[in-house]
Amino acid sequence: MFSNVLVVAGLLLCRLVLCRGFLVEDNPTPAPLPWWKSTIIYQVYPRSFQDSNGDGVGDLQGIISQLQYFKYIGVETLWLSPFYKSPQKDFGYDISDLKDVDPLFGNIQDFRRLVEEAKQLGLRILMDFVPNHTSDQHEWFQKSLKGDGKYRDFYVWSDGSLAANGTRIRPNNWISIFGGSVWTWREERQQFYLHQFTPEQPDLNYRNPDVREEMLLSIRYWLDQGIDGLRMDAIADLYEAENLTDNPLSGKPVPSNDWNYLIPKYTDYLVPEVPQEIMRWQGVFDSLEKLDGRERFMVLEFYTDSDTRAKMAAFGAHPFNMDLVDSLTVPLSARQIMGLVAQEYTNKPPSYWPTFVIGNHDRKRVANKYGRHTVNAFNMLLMTLKGTPTTYYGEELGMEDIEVTYKETQDPWAIIAGPDRYLLVSRDVNRSPMQWTAGYQAGFTTGNHTWLPIQANYTTYNVESEKTDPKSHLNLYKEYANLRQLSAFKYGDINVNVVTNDNVLSFLRYYGSERYLVAINFGQASSTDNYTRDPVGAATGTVVSDTGNVDASIAKNNNVDLSQLTLDPGNGVVIRLL
């Protein structure tokens, strides 16, 4: 009898287990998820991550040297921005050879070593793939320019029209994303070619089956290198209207050569061909999975609304959710943020899976857009939502944008915008070198220069220094990443119908008997709120993580009264419900 009591008592105690420092309840083993649903993706911008040879530009060997860093912060998947052979007119997004590495970054052997060493550490690799355009130095364009065989129609060419004075007039009013006309005249062909970005980036003609076939071969080439998937760039730009109809005016108060001057009705074009193209690409992924049983992941760059993302999910596509990058207004409102988050879980097909992003290589950093006090709050939100999170390098440190003069500007978009408007679009500011140490060149390079300036605050915000501070951006990011190993965050569902007002948003994550409340103040004032009502249904809880700036009474490891929880701007807590 006594021994039975001990057994029962032991079983009750064993219902509580320790998971990476968090006390959680034991639950039945869940069904395994596809790896990309439980991973954290970290965007590496190779030029700016780590330089191995002292030339001031990051490279593949530099990334290899820092692979242990990803293990330290709990990241499992690296997304590498382009390192293809390229004239670097748009820093690698102008590709002159889709199957080779630019010498600036190393060679194909370096890449294979990176993939192999990452695998040994349990890390996965995603690559940027640029299907919409190539460099004008690509062999295909050079042959197309000459009207050479099958390459003649590899790109979008047009005669335009003839003016009374005999000069050629562009086919329509379409404006490039980077500004100016999408049409550039080439004497060799006596035709205009189309480029949605810079003139050095001619758009491929996807209505040509030979182009589609070449893309499939290029995709297969990189998947055969052992990578785990691809991030597809500029999906919305694959197709334009065949009849070259003028885009309507937007009415926005911008210069007439600015992309926003027109509504891109016939250029930013989600026609039936785009989903069909994505399904062709996915077919390559699926065929390889049948051979080796290893699932590859394809994620799409696509700035669009939640309903369109859901439609794309119906045929297996996974567009990034850019809402938290591009749609937030300042000053921040928790109600607006929750509105954008909640729609990801409302009226969506079973195939839909959110892929949240808060920053990338094209947008200003969180600390600059919303204030340093929000850095930990956004990282907490990103890591605790249901979905796959993506972190842009340096956001885990709270890195800030740099100051760049027009004379120092390298970004082609900013150069085209001109000296009066370049800062409105500059992407140089958020691509500065990674801040590793407080020492020489922030530990990024041993050379005497860097391709972009290092942010002046590197002596404070760097990996080496932040590792020693338990409340640093870095260590809190690591803590939030560890939270994702708990069943409630890894496998669990989400309920967003808790407390949300102008200042505070909150939601529940739960799996079996595990239940966690996440509450974050993104507003402009303190807020005291009652969280005890349904669906929380608990009077108290234990804080398992916070944003490092909360009152001592609600800091990590404290039991808190949920009937009157006060959060100041930038405060956030994750609470295990009792």
pTM over 0.85: yes
Active site residue 301: yes
Catalytic site residue from 301, 400, 411, 546: 301
CA distance 361 to 95: 17
Q: Are 306 and 344 in contact (CB under 8 A)?
A: yes
Taking 50 as the pLDDT cut, the residues of the chain under it are 1-21, 23-24
In this structure, what token pair is assigned to residue 482? 């560890």
Instruction: For the sheet with 493-495, list strands across it.
Output: 493-495, 504-511, 514-521, 572-577, 540-546, 559-561
Catalytic site residue from 94, 102, 233, 344: 233
511 sits in the region (left: phi over 0; alpha: psi -120 to 50; else beta) called: beta
* Closest CA relative to residue 245, chosen from 267, 261, 271: 267
203-217 pLDDT, tens per residue? 999 999 999 999 999
Active site residue 403: no
CA distance 208 to 273: 12
**Which pLDDT value is given to residue 17?**
43
**Which pLDDT value is given to residue 26?**
61
| CB-facing half-sphere around the CA of 51: CA atoms within 13 A | 25
